[in-house]
Amino acid sequence: MKTKVRIGLFGIGLETYWAQFDGLKDRLSNQIELVATGLAALNTEIVNLGLIDTPEKAFEAGDHFKKKDVDLLMLYVTTYALSSTVLPIVKKANVPVIILNLSPNANIDYKAFNRLQDRTKMTGEWLAYCSACPVPEIANVFRRCKIPFFQITGILQNDPHVWNEIEEWIEAARVAKVMYYNRMGVMGNYYGGMMDIYTDLTLQCATFGGHIEILEIDELSHLREGVTTTELEFKLQEIVQIFDVQKDCLSEELQRAAITAVALDKLVDKYKLGSLAYYHKGSGNEANENTATSVILGNSILTGKHIPVAGEYEIKNVQAMKIMDSFGAGGSFTEYYAMDFNEDLVLMGHDGPCHPQIAEGKVKVKPLKVYHGKVGNGLSVEMSVKNGPVTLLSVVEDGEGALKLIMAEGKSVPGDILEIGNTNSRYSFAIGARNFVEAWNAEGPAHHCAIGKGHLASKIKKLGKLLKVNTVQIC
């Protein structure tokens, strides 16, 4: 996966100033180097072209950034500069651009400034603080040229806001890159009648990029037949390490699940999958039913290894899960199913695979005599999401031919859950359970969503802007 973000960095100035104001060019160039050093510390690849001060250099810079295939442009405004030194670069690179409007200090030392007496020196010092001056001009040109742009305003050094924003933009660009190169497998078919989860595969690729591999459950069933005794034993050991296997789980059911888990690993390796959406009844075909009813443990293991798996052929939701996981937040398959009005909570969970890395304690494995609404029986997983801040994310078709992102920040809170062999968690929201449910529903979401630990709204909004996707925050 090509996930390291390549940033094109350049500063702007006006060539006319350099002969007029001694030392100004070197001073501004050094400031660009400070930004470059800070960016490099964020695990990025930097293409730093320094100070661009003429239209001619701007055209050369645009060509260079294009050849280097940068993912993101950072335009550091050092002093007043002509918009003609900016537009050729941004148009040619044709990637998102962030304007860094950073003052060299929190304020000008007015008394020291006025003591300079030499008005040429005073003007040079003034120009060193003029980073805010050309931003309206640049913004005007970008808007008229229909070029999206984003801004970070603050102080060059020792400004936590600035570097937090820079880090979030880089993280959002990295996740966008992960999604662009992701290979999603889709295996089986939709759960019949769940019209909200039907989606346009071409729209998914148009929005996120990536590749969609159409898979057959027959191949997974065939891979099960070739699992060796050694592979089975290793997978059984892995299951015991990851899960809290309950005593009432039959050994033959564990072996059945382990064989399928090995086959899933082979399928993922063969097609280099980064995510998977699946559903298949398997009724009328013994081999496929055996496969379809024994995938939960293997799919949970894959999800914990950054290959999220969504049941019920939930393609939109596995995209949300991949986004959450790429932000390092987990991304477990869930839906809300009930409310607790006494404690003002929303109860959420789902059958099928979970994300073991975000569980409160060890995930339990339990046998189920029936998979509700589905064929067969077998082993299932039960967990709650770690107590603390969480974010919900849903990828939604908006009815206008586009996708949008819906998200909400809340808390996973301790308390009793329904111990039914499914994922189950209790969530509180700042706007209250009733208001949350009504506001979430008003956006027309599918009934599934992805849950991840931490509050990620700011990062997800930036990702939405990079992808040019409408993003709605409920709370």
pLDDT of 145: 97
Is residue 1 a part of any domain in this protein? no
Task: Look up the CATH number of the domain holding residue 241.
Answer: 3.20.14
Is residue 252 a part of any domain in this protein? yes
Statement to judge: residues 187 and 173 lie in one domain: no
Statement to judge: residues 191 and 172 lie in one domain: no
Per residue in 146-184, pLDDT (tens digit) is: 999 999 999 999 999 999 999 999 999 999 999 999 999
Is residue 128 a part of any domain in this protein? yes
pLDDT of 370: 78
Is residue 327 a part of any domain in this protein? yes
HSE, side-chain direction, 13 A CA sphere, residue 266: 19
Residue 19: helix, strand or coil by DSSP? helix
Spatial CA neighbour of 75 closest among 147, 125, 15: 147
Task: Look up the CATH number of the domain holding residue 68.
Answer: 3.40.50.10940
β-bridge partners, 348: 336, 425
- Give the DSSP letter string of 326-370: HTTSEEEEEEEEEEETTTTEEEEEESS---GGGBSSPEEEEEES-
Residues 6+ apart with CB under 8 A from 438: none
Per residue in 378-424, pLDDT (tens digit) is: 899 999 999 999 999 999 999 999 999 999 999 999 998 888 888 89
Q: Does residue 381 contact residue 257 with C-beta atoms inside 8 Å?
A: no
Statement to judge: residues 83 and 228 lie in one domain: no
pLDDT of 368: 82
Statement to judge: residues 175 and 187 lie in one domain: no
pLDDT of 394: 97
Statement to judge: residues 116 and 221 lie in one domain: no
The segments of the chain whose pLDDT lies below 50 read: none
Structure tokens belonging to residue 359? 């569980």
Statement to judge: residues 323 and 468 lie in one domain: yes
**How many structural domains comprise the chain?**
2
Statement to judge: residues 272 and 417 lie in one domain: yes
Is residue 13 a part of any domain in this protein? yes
Statement to judge: residues 222 and 356 lie in one domain: yes
Domain final residue, candidates 179, 199, 231: 179
Statement to judge: residues 103 and 230 lie in one domain: no
Is residue 293 a part of any domain in this protein? yes
Domain final residue, candidates 120, 155, 179: 179
Domain final residue, candidates 135, 152, 179: 179
Is residue 60 a part of any domain in this protein? yes
Is residue 296 a part of any domain in this protein? yes
Residue range of the domain that includes 212: 182-473
Statement to judge: residues 205 and 151 lie in one domain: no
Statement to judge: residues 228 and 157 lie in one domain: no
Residues 6+ apart with CB under 8 A from 36: 9, 46, 48
Structure tokens belonging to residue 385? 């999401």
pLDDT of 438: 97
Alpha-carbon span 464 to 475, nearest angstrom: 17
pLDDT of 461: 98
Statement to judge: residues 141 and 199 lie in one domain: no
Per residue in 187-203, pLDDT (tens digit) is: 999 988 999 999 999 99
